[in-house]
Chain A
Amino acid sequence: MSNIPAHFGFWHRLGARLLQTSSWLVLLFLIMPILVIVPLSFNVEPFFSFTEGMLTFQPEAYSLRWYQAIFKDPKWILAIQNSFFIGICATLIATVLGTCAAVGLARDEMPMRRLITAVMLSPMIVPLIITAAGMFFFYADIGLAGSYLGVILAHAALGTPFVIITVTATLTGFDYALARAALNLGARPIQVFFDIIMPLIRPGVISGALFAFITSFDEVVVILFMAGPQQRTIPRQMFSGLREQINPSILAIATFLILVSIALLVTIELLRRRAERMRGIELVE
């Protein structure tokens, strides 16, 4: 290991080596369960484990049958459509309301800031089982249980805290003199928002939207309690699959979800770098 300095004594050297090994083991622990799913989803047999043939890399031990099974099963197709439809609608609501609120919260003259922030972040803090139980009672009473609207509103509420946090982060250090200058020069408030504030906070808004989307996309407890059979999403379908009859089509859909999360991770990372660059430019100026 080349990065251990040469002047280290034996014990120090051993310690550094131990640290390195244990860190890699923990990284392995983190990543291995996810990686293991991908090859298993190509299993020709209906098992959740590697067969002899797979371990000796015989081509006939691998197949795409579970992927085909998903695209032939109307339940999975409905679940995929639902996941995206509910996720996108919930994200739109959460992003618009959350961004607007974050702009207000960042103002110095905001009254009762602590209390309001606590209320707005509460959907993130309260355990999902409690949220789901409460929504089950309440949404049934107002006739929204088992409807798309009910699920979308519920998921939007769960997503807003993430939008608030990310947008607030990009707003710290935002110079309101810019907005005042624009107002002085005759811009209408709405123009100020879209032409001055929005371009500066856009990375925060987009990453907040992505967080809100993944929150909805991954959410299953609320769906479990208050959605009807028509609103079954991918995680909901996986949940019943894991409870009732386990077969590798769940692994195939899991592989698809891993690809979705990689795409989101890359987007967030790019946005973060961009935001860092923008802040770097501000500092230079």
Chain B
Amino acid sequence: MSALSSTEASQAASAQRKKSLRAFLFVVPLLAFIMLTFIAPIGSMLWRSVNHPTVAELIPQTLTELQRWDGKTTPDPQTFGVFATELQALAKQRLSGKLAEEFNRAYAGMSSVVKSTARKVRSLSPEELNSQGAEILLNANPKWSRPALWFAIQRAGQPYTYDYYLTALDLEVNLEQGIQVREDTQIYLQLYGKTLYMALQITLLCALLGYPLAYYLSVLPKNRANLLLVLVLLPFWTSLLVRTTAWIALLQTNGIINSSLLSIGVINQPIEMLYTSFATVIAMTHILLPFMILPLYSVMRGIDTSYMRAAMSLGAKPLPAFARIYFPMTLPGLSAGALLVFIISVGYYITPALVGGTDGQMISNIIAFHMQSSNNWELAAALGSLLLGLILLLYWLYDRFVGASNIKLG
């Protein structure tokens, strides 16, 4: 073995660097594109979940005044005066409604308090507001004396906050600065639980339906199997909306399933199936089943039948032979399919939104609700970030057990 001279070594290294750079240049356009069109939006969502300067921009002086506040009693008259002045300014610019909405998120029931107070202070003179702010506000609504309310205002005024994550986890911060379980409403943890539970149901159903079919296809002659695989691939390629529409047509009160059951006399009156969690589970099982069958099938095709024959000829009964010889060999396919189905169903939106009713909603639907209806974008961002964390965790598991490079299409 001859040693390289130092110039040769550095030449080799620089040639290697050049090659790496050339390979990298191929990737740069797409990398930049994905960064701009995809990663940056995700980043902006993460940013929004912790950054919410609206209240700080609406009432900056009040928040400065509140820094002197001890947090236990009603704030001093000067704070009230400053707040009354700022509230009047907001009312005149028609921004008090926005403040009311923001306060209401921090402290339930605040919306009407802010709005009615804003109406009262609108016509008063600045001197009155400054000197008698406390009396005016307390006359307008006695709730203004509550320390808890001012505490909520102070927290809502922080431009950087983790409060939306606390809300998303059904937690809240109380007056003594302690984190506790939220008192009024606890919906999100339960919803995460329900989402995972439904995803598990869907995964199990897919495994239960997919395993025998994949096995059956894997023992058929290749030509016949390919022909039948078309029946698996056609739903896979068919629009999601089409498949969801089909399930609406099937499950409706006077839909196909109900009317056929009625006509053969199994039931006397139609069963309510659409707009339930049952509808979500069954429609999503149908939609995700190909994701289970395809990896299972490709693993099963590769299993040599002589293993089973050997086990049986050595005296194993069919069932134990299946459980101890065949089944373990199919585990890679089963875990790949199951994890894929589970990951996809945890983040699913369209099908639950269309067939799920109120009962069959998943975490994605509440995110959409906060994006579109309640306009609580920060909470939607926090819920979305938690969901993203969950998905990345699951995907990490998938990568460890299955290998991300094993993703195949069609």
Answer whether A and B are interacting partners: yes
Could you list which residues of chain A lie within 8 angstroms of chain B, going by C-beta atoms?
11-12, 15, 19-20, 22-23, 26-27, 29-31, 33-34, 36-37, 40, 47-50, 93, 97-98, 100-101, 103-105, 107, 109-111, 116-123, 125-131, 133-139, 141, 153-154, 156-157, 160, 162, 164-166, 169, 207, 211, 214, 217-218, 220-221, 224-225, 234-235, 238-239, 242-243, 246, 250-251, 254, 257-258, 261-262, 264-265, 268-269, 272
Contact B242–A122 (Cβ < 8 Å) = no
How far apart are the CA atoms of A239 and B20 in the complex, in Å?
47
Set B42, B230, B244, B410: member contacting A126, Cβ < 8 A: B42
Q: Is B409's beta carbon under 8 Å from chain A?
A: yes
Whether A100 and B37, one on each chain, are in contact in the complex, defined by CB atoms closer than 8 angstroms, is no
Shortest beta-carbon distance from A239 to chain B in Å: 7
Are B31 and A119 within 8 A (Cβ)?
A: yes
Known: A239-B241, A254-B245. A107 touches B37 (CB 8 A): no
Chain A residue numbers with a CB within 8 Å of B39 are 119, 122
B227-262 interface with A by 8 A CB criterion: 228, 230-235, 237-250, 252, 254-256, 259
Contact (A33, B243) CB under 8 Å given A48-B249, A49-B254, A131-B38: yes
Hey, which chain A residues are within 8 Å of B267, CB to CB? none
Closest Cβ neighbor of A162 among chain B residues: B409
A234 vs B241: C-alpha distance when bound (angstroms): 9
Instruction: For A23, give its contact among B43, B44, B216, B240 (CB under 8 Å).
Output: B216
* CA A243 to CA B250, docked complex, whole Å: 16
* Cβ contact of B354, chosen from A27, A120, A137, A239, cutoff 8 A: A239
- Given A36-B246, A129-B347, CB of A134 within 8 Å of CB of B44: yes
Residues A97 and B256 in contact, CB atoms below 8 Å apart: no
A interface SS class? helix
Known: A220-B241, A262-B234. A122 touches B44 (CB 8 A): no
In whole angstroms, what is the CA distance A27 to B252 when docked? Answer: 22
Interface string of B10-41 (1 = CB under 8 A from A): 00000010011011111101110111011111
Give 28 pairs: A residue, B residue, CB < 8 Å, sorted on A: A19-B212, A23-B212, A23-B213, A23-B217, A29-B286, A33-B250, A48-B255, A49-B252, A49-B256, A93-B33, A98-B30, A104-B23, A105-B23, A110-B23, A128-B349, A130-B384, A133-B371, A134-B44, A134-B384, A156-B33, A160-B30, A165-B408, A207-B410, A242-B245, A251-B249, A257-B239, A261-B242, A262-B237
Would you call A109 and B19 a contact (CB within 8 A)?
Answer: yes
| Residues of B176-221 contacting chain A, CB below 8 A | 209-210, 212-213, 215-217
Residues of B close to A23: CB separation below 8 A: 212-213, 216-217
B349–A30 contact, CB under 8 A? no
Question: B228, A27: Cβ atoms under 8 Å?
Answer: yes
8 Å CB contact of B29 from A100, A135, A162, A261: A100
Question: Is residue B95 contacting chain A, with contact meaning CB distance below 8 A?
Answer: no
Which residue from chain A places its CB closest to the CB of B370 in the assembled complex? A133
Interchain CB contact under 8 A, A169 and B408: yes
Given A23-B216, A104-B26, A238-B245: A130 in contact with B19 (beta carbons within 8 A) = no
Report the Cα distance A22→B252, complex, angstroms: 26
Chain A residue at smallest Cβ distance from B37: A157
Which A residues are CB-close (under 8 A) to B38?
122-123, 131, 157
**Closest Cβ neighbor of B209 among chain A residues:** A26
In contact, B234 and A111 (Cβ under 8 angstroms): no
Q: How many residues of B contact A (CB 8 A)?
A: 89
Q: What total count of A-B pairs have CB within 8 Å?
A: 271
Of A33, A126, A139, A265, which one neighbours B247 at CB under 8 angstroms? Answer: A33
Known: A49-B249, A97-B30. A238 touches B41 (CB 8 A): no
Measured in the bound complex, the distance between the Cα atoms of B34 and A105 in whole Å is 15
B90 within 8 A of A: no
Q: Is chain B's binding surface mostly helix, strand, loop or mixed?
A: helix
Distance of A154 Cα from B37 Cα, bound (Å): 6
A65 to B304, CA, bound (A): 55
> Are B41's CB and A34's CB within 8 A?
no
Question: Which residues of B sit under 8 angstroms from A127, Cβ to Cβ?
Answer: 346-349, 364, 387-388, 391
**Contact across chains for B247 and A111 when beta carbons are under 8 A apart:** no
> B263 CB to closest chain A CB, in angstroms?
9
- Min CB–CB distance B203 → chain A (angstroms): 16
A130–B42 Cα distance when bound, in Å, is 7
Q: Are A120 and B34 in contact (CB under 8 A)?
A: yes
Question: B52 on the interface (CB 8 Å rule)?
Answer: no
Contact for B26 among A100, A169, A221, A264, CB less than 8 A? A100
Chain B residues near A261 (CB-CB < 8 A) = 234, 237-239, 242
Shortest distance from the beta carbon of A238 to any chain B beta carbon, whole Å: 5
- The answer on a CB contact under 8 Å between B248 and A131 is no
Bound form: Cα–Cα A265–B289 in Å: 17
Instruction: Knowing A19-B216, A100-B29, A118-B404, say if A239 contacts B350 (CB, 8 Å).
Output: yes
**Quick check: A111 and B24 within 8 Å, CB to CB?**
yes
Shortest B406–chain A CB gap in Å is 11
Q: Which residues 35-70 of B have a CB within 8 angstroms of A?
A: 35, 37-45, 48
Are B235 and A34 neighbours in the complex by a CB distance under 8 Å? yes
Other A-B contacts than A111-B23, A154-B37, 18 sampled, CB-CB below 8 A, are A20-B216, A22-B212, A23-B217, A26-B210, A31-B235, A33-B246, A49-B259, A93-B33, A100-B27, A105-B23, A105-B26, A107-B23, A109-B22, A129-B347, A131-B42, A134-B42, A160-B34, A225-B372
Of listed A246, A258, A268, residue having the most chain B CB within 10 A: A258
Q: A135-B41, A157-B37 are in contact. Are A250 and B387 (CB under 8 A)?
A: no
